[in-house]
Amino acid sequence: MPAPLQQSPWLHRFAMFTALATLILIGIGGLVTTKGVGMAVPDWPNTFGYNMFVVPFDRWIGQFGIFEEHSHRLVASFVGLLTMILAIWLWFSEPRKWVRRLGVGAFVLVVAQGVLGGLRVTEINPNLGLIHGAVAQLFLILICGIALVTSGWWHRVNVGREQGVCFGRLQGAIIAVVCLVFVQLLLGATMRHQHAGLAIWDFPLAHGQVWPATDATSVAQYNESRQALQRELHAENRLLDKAGNPVKFLATGKEIQPWHIWLQMLHRLGAVATLALAIALVVKTSRRLGQAHRFTRASYVLLAMILGQAGMGIWTLLSNKAADVATGHVVLGAVCLAFTSLMLMVAKRCAFVAGAEERLAKREFNELPNADRAALAV
């Protein structure tokens, strides 16, 4: 049997720290999109002509929009630095070639992500912002994956043959949840990057209907109602904070289009499907691995997170898109996606380890002299 790899716990901790920093970065980026201030700093890679690391504090601290956008750039640079250190550390200490490659891949991705963010500003292109948002979550998955494969658990895990088969059979259900959460991310990101506020703001009905009409007259009516609600919120002092900056982003001056309504309705249906799949996963893991198994408990945690995510989505609507609630929904969405992806990696690892034991036993058996094999086969 090959000797287990000597793994540095510090490398694993560093990867975990990088993942946490990435999640914080996704949160700040989410806030930039929620507030629609992606263009608050119009130049890149400089900030108002300054090298971005030496911008005078009074140019960005406490300045609505600029603070969020500039902080996003600074935290992104920090995550880029962490990723570079992680890649170098892996390159010089990691014996597994594929893990070293993951480190290089993460570094390439973080650089590409920075350039994408910059182009979104210089090209004034919200579609690039959408891709930037989706790639951010793929990057988080990659960093979480590196943290997992450098953990002690990855090397120590020992799974019997029967459990290995169970893990193998659970993979399809986990892949389905990963895919649906990703589709939800794409639908949600497309809604957000339209910068058109909320297309529907009531729940469980939508504009008072089970499935809202999207003909021109109805959509014009929704736009009027939204304007009226916006004026009402303004009159009640619920739209702006004490400094006069917006805290709710129900409407942004851009009109609702019929396809914005379709997007949100599909996102709602996607939420129902995701919840159903998460429940199915809990049932499957409990049946196959038993209630007490840690993986089953993880599937319960996932279900709770998806429920929480649906709750945050509903709250986003009912709060008329309060900036903190909408951004919380983005962050929890990223956590759901990363967690589900980690569950998939864990299941794959367990199935592989169980299979490896079997493969090794088979090879040892085949290497035995014929007489011994015949004796064992009896």
Among 153, 203, 211, 365, binds ligand HEM (CB under 6 A): 203
Q: What is the footprint of ligand HEM within residues 245-264 (CB under 6 A)?
A: 264
Mapping DSSP onto H, E and C, the string for the chain reads CCCCCCCCHHHHHHHHHHHHHHHHHHHHHHHHHHHCCCCCCCCCCCECCECHHHCCHHHHCCCCCHHHHHHHHHHHHHHHHHHHHHHHHHHHHCCCHHHHHHHHHHHHHHHHHHHHHHHHHHCCCHHHHHHHHHHHHHHHHHHHHHHHHCCHHHHHCCCCHHHHHHHHHHHHHHHHHHHHHHHHHHHHHHHHHCCCCCCCCCCCCECCECCCCCCHHHHHHHHHHHHHHHHHHHHCCCCECCCCCECECCCCCCCCCHHHHHHHHHHHHHHHHHHHHHHHHHHHHHHHHCCCCHHHHHHHHHHHHHHHHHHHHHHHHHCCCEHHHHHHHHHHHHHHHHHHHHHHHHHHHHHHHHHHHHHHHHHHHHHCCHHHHHHHHC
Position 192 contacts ligand HEM (CB under 6 A) = yes
**38 versus 164: smaller Cβ distance to ligand HEM:** 38
Q: From 47-55, 78-86, 304-312, 341-349, give the range in contact with ligand HEM by CB under 6 A.
A: 304-312
- Asked if 268 touches ligand HEM (CB under 6 A), the answer is yes
With CB under 6 A as the contact rule, which of the stretches 46-54, 109-117, 209-217, 309-317 interacts with ligand HEM? 309-317
Part of the chain binding ligand HEM (CB under 6 A), chosen from 73-81, 235-243, 265-273, 355-363: 265-273
For residue 23, the minimal CB distance to ligand HEM (Å) is: 13
Can you tell me which of 75, 79, 102, 185 binds ligand HEM, judged by CB under 6 A? 185
Tokens of residue 126, six digits: 């919200």
Question: How crowded is the C-beta side of 297, counted as CA atoms within 13 Å?
Answer: 3
Q: What is the dihedral of CA 146, 150, 153, 158, to 10 degrees?
A: 100
Can you name the residues that pair with 322 across neighbouring β-strands? Answer: 248
d(Cα 322, Cα 222) in Å, to the nearest integer? 20
Q: Is 303 a residue that touches ligand HEM (CB under 6 A)?
A: no
Under the binding rule (CB under 6 A), the answer on residue 153 touching ligand HEM is no
Among 189, 250, 305, 335, binds ligand HEM (CB under 6 A): 189
Nearest approach, Cβ of 164 to ligand HEM (angstroms)? 30
Q: Which of 143, 73, 59, 52 is nearest to 102 (CA)?
A: 143
Selected from 150, 151, 163, 316, the binder of ligand HEM by CB under 6 A is 316
Smallest distance, ligand HEM to C-beta of residue 276, A: 10
CB of 262 to ligand HEM, least distance (A): 13
**Candidate residues 86, 277, 336, 346; the one interacting with ligand HEM per rule CB under 6 A:** 336
Q: Which of 36, 65, 164, 188 binds ligand HEM (CB under 6 A)?
A: 188
Q: Please give the structure tokens belonging to residue 198.
A: 């909320």
Within 120-149, the residues that bind ligand HEM by CB under 6 A are 133
Q: How many CB atoms lie within 10 A of CB 292?
A: 8
**Closest CB to ligand HEM among residues 219, 350:** 219
* Contact flag: residue 274 with ligand HEM (CB under 6 A): yes
Q: Does 314 bind ligand HEM (CB under 6 A)?
A: yes
Cβ closest to ligand HEM, residue 12 vs residue 207: 207
Instruction: Examine residue 306 and tell whether it contacts ligand HEM (CB under 6 A).
Output: yes
Identified binder of ligand HEM from the candidate list 310, 342, 344, 346, rule CB under 6 A: 310
331 binds ligand HEM (CB under 6 A): no
Does 333 sit near ligand HEM (CB under 6 A)?
yes
Considering the complex, state which of residue 142 and residue 336 has its C-beta at the smaller distance from ligand HEM: 336
Positions touching ligand HEM (CB under 6 A) are 33-34, 133, 181, 184-185, 188-189, 191-192, 198, 203, 264, 267-268, 271, 274, 306, 309-310, 313-314, 316-317, 321, 326, 329-330, 333, 336
